[in-house]
Amino acid sequence: MNRWSQCLLLGAILAGGYVIYVSVMASLQDRIIFVGQGIPMTTNLREENSLAFYTKLKTSFGEVHACYLESERDFDDCPIVFVAHGNAETIGQWAAITGHLNQLGLSVFLVEYPGYGGSDGLPSKETIAETFDQGHAWLETRGLSSRRLIGFGHGFGTGPLLELATRKRFDGIILTAPYTSLGALTWETGLPSFLLKTRYDNINALTGSTYPVLLIHGRRDRLITPKHSERLLQVDSSRITYEPIDAAHEDLWGESDAMVSVLSTWLNSYHFLSSP
């Protein structure tokens, strides 16, 4: 076999292997994206905050868990943080983080994803959107009209959160380890983005919005690299703040002092921690 034939054979093997890889990844994409589906609720948030109030949001596909943790500050004053967590965790795993947010003077509303933490349904862009809409409606029963609302999204959750913010009012947005789009993130793994069923475009969602935004990204994040936050900053650097910290994707809050300091500085700069 001459060298040309060997190159053709090698090319055919590599192409065949890539086709197999793409086919497997495409068929398993829901399991990969919603890797936390089926994780049970293992932590009682009342252990972190005795004022934690559990509720179930009623949707067309069943009930989805949510938990509201009131700040110790005056009820009529403190902002509410609407949390969209990552795809490999449940709201119960945010116990320590909600403690930090409560101590800053923020009330916290954690909404589960369908199929996560014992909630009904299956996770998808459509079911998550319906759940988040119901969560926002539930907050309105808690006097949202007189409270400032801050969105807090982490990793995968930055997409559903920003999509919600295109439909509902938010006074500010905090994004930790965000991506520019799921398509761009998928392409980095070698999977053609046109095969992606679940799509979120954070650049498009931020374009044209007016609320202030805080981006926090770990310099050592290899899952969603900091270049995603750097690109999001370019949407509008006049109202978007980018703060890199020395952490990886999974241990942002391992640097809790740094996180609290960054959050406190940004919140104070927009007077979220004082009366409106």
Phi, psi of 246 (to 5 degrees): -80, 85
Which among 142, 141, 139 is positioned nearest to 111, based on CA atoms? 139
Lowest mean pLDDT among 70-74, 180-184, 199-203, 221-225: 70-74
Contact (CB, 8 A) for 117 and 65: yes
Residue holding tokens 């923020």? 106
Amino acid present at 184? A
Q: Kindly indicate the confidence band of residue 23, based on its pLDDT and cuts at 50, 70 and 90.
A: low
Tokens of residue 18, six digits: 């890539």
Phi, psi of 132 (to 5 degrees): -65, -35
Q: How far is CA 150 from CA 20, 26, 62, 163, 165, in A?
A: 43, 34, 27, 14, 10
Neighbours of 219 (CB within 10 A): 11
Q: Kindly indicate the confidence band of residue 272, based on its pLDDT and cuts at 50, 70 and 90.
A: very high
Instruction: Tell me the C-alpha distance between 111 and 246, whole Å.
Output: 28
pLDDT tens-digit profile of 95-151?
889 989 998 999 999 999 999 999 999 999 999 999 999 999 999 887 776 789 999
pTM: 0.87
Helix count (H) and strand count (E) of the chain?
Answer: 9, 8
Domains, the chain, in order of start with CATH, read: 34-269 (3.40.50.1820)
Q: Kindly indicate the confidence band of residue 255, based on its pLDDT and cuts at 50, 70 and 90.
A: confident
